[in-house]
């Protein structure tokens, strides 16, 4: 048999696969790369707004209770408890739960970017609960607390190392 006489044809290779248009899986991956960071940012903003709303609602509830009973000592204790709960959602519980006295006020100043707790009306948080007479400047303290809630939650210091302990001692 003569190979020249066989009914064989040339082999034609298929066309090469181009990179464009992309395969469907690449479109899915591209969409995920774009959508995931946007979704994470939106989730964080939503969570931040949720924390602020919850804290301010709790503040309003405490304020309404105070307006009914006019017990300023109890009111300030409840505000301090609210602030402590807020701090523990912002920073490590182990770092913040046991902080008291001047260190507590310093921590509030640090998280709220203010000096009104250690040097201003915020000092009432550690002095007023032990006084028998009604406390003055309640409105200023209320304003300080609401501003602190809004400011501290926007700073997002979650689980950041706070500079509050000196030698492991608490005030």
The pLDDT tens digits along the chain (171 residues) read: 677 788 878 888 888 888 888 889 999 999 999 999 999 999 999 998 999 999 999 999 999 999 999 888 899 999 999 999 999 988 878 888 888 999 999 999 999 999 999 999 999 999 887 777 777 889 999 999 999 999 988 875 544 445 554 444 443
Residue 9 covered by a domain: no
Identify the pLDDT of residue 59. Answer: 97
Identify the pLDDT of residue 98. Answer: 86
Residue 56 covered by a domain: yes
Residue 2 covered by a domain: no
Q: Following DSSP, what letter does each residue of 69-124 receive, concatenated? A: H--HHHHHHHHHHHHHHHHHHHS-HHHHTT--HHHHHHHHHHHHT-STTTSSGGGH
Residue 150 covered by a domain: yes
* Total domains present in the chain: 1
Tokens of 163: 């500079």
Rounded to 5°, angle at Cα 34 from 32 and 37? 95
Residue 5 covered by a domain: no
Residue 122 covered by a domain: yes
DSSP type of residue 169: B
3-class DSSP state of 170: coil
Rounded to 5°, angle at Cα 74 from 71 and 76? 105
The pTM score is: 0.73
Identify the pLDDT of residue 171. Answer: 37
Residue 93 covered by a domain: yes
Domain that holds residue 91: 25-155
Residue 124 covered by a domain: yes
């Amino acid at each position: 048999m003569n190979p020249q006489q066989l009914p064989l044809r040339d082999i034609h290779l298929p066309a090469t696969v181009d990179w464009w248009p992309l395969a469907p899986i690449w479109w899915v991956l591209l969409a995920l790369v774009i959508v995931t960071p946007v979704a994470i940012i939106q989730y964080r903003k939503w969570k931040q707004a949720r924390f602020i709303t919850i804290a301010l609602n709790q503040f309003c509830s405490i304020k309404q209770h105070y307006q009914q009973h006019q017990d300023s000592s109890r009111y300030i204790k409840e505000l301090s408890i609210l602030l402590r709960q807020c701090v523990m959602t912002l920073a490590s519980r182990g770092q913040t739960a046991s902080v008291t006295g001047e260190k507590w006020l310093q921590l509030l100043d640090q998280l709220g970017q203010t000096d009104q707790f250690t040097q201003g009306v915020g000092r009432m948080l550690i002095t007023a609960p032990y006084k028998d007479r009604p406390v003055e400047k309640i409105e200023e303290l209320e304003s300080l607390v609401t501003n602190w809630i809004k400011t501290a939650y926007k700073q997002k210091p979650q689980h950041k190392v706070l500079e509050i302990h000196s030698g492991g001692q608490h005030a």
